[in-house]
Amino acid sequence: MSEKKLQHIAIIMDGNGRWAKERGLPHLKGHREGAEAVRRVVEMSKEYGIKYLTLYAFSTENWKRDKEEVDGLMDLLLEFLGTQLEVLQKNNVSLKAIGRLKELPEEVYEALMQVIEETAENTDGTLVFALNYGGRAEIVDAARKLSEDVKAGKIDSKSIDEAMFSRYLYAPEIPDPDLMIRTSGELRLSNFLLWELSYSELYVTDVYWPDFGKEDFSKAIDCYYRRDRRYGGRK
Chain segment 48-76, per-residue pLDDT in tens: 999 999 999 999 999 999 898 899 899 99
Euclidean distance between CA atoms 141 and 96, whole angstroms: 18
**Which of the following is catalytic: 16, 62, 71, 141?**
62
**pLDDT tens-digit readout, 179-227:** 999 999 999 999 999 999 999 999 999 999 999 999 999 999 999 999 8
Q: H-helix or E-strand containing 197?
A: none
Classify residue 123: in a domain, yes or no: yes
- Count of domains observed in the chain: 1
Classify residue 81: in a domain, yes or no: yes
Euclidean distance between CA atoms 90 and 111, whole angstroms: 19
**Which is more confidently placed, 85 or 107?**
107
Q: How confident is the model at residue 84 (pLDDT cuts 50, 70, 90)?
A: confident
Output the average pLDDT for the chain.
94
Classify residue 149: in a domain, yes or no: no
**Which of the following is catalytic: 14, 132, 178, 216?**
14
Classify residue 139: in a domain, yes or no: no
DSSP classification of residue 207:
S
3-state SS assignment for residue 167: coil
* Residue 1 CB contacts under 8 Å (≥ 6 apart), including other chains: 225, 226, 227, 228
What is residue 4's predicted lDDT score, i.e. its pLDDT? 76
Structural domain boundaries, residue 50 = 8-134+176-226
**pLDDT tens-digit readout, 104-157:** 999 999 999 999 999 999 999 999 999 999 999 999 999 999 999 999 999 999
62 is catalytic: yes
149 is catalytic: no
Q: CATH no. for residue 31?
A: 3.40.1180.10
What is residue 234's predicted lDDT score, i.e. its pLDDT? 53
**Is 213 within 8 Å of 34 (Cβ atoms)?**
no
Q: Is pLDDT at 1 greater than 60 in this prediction?
A: no
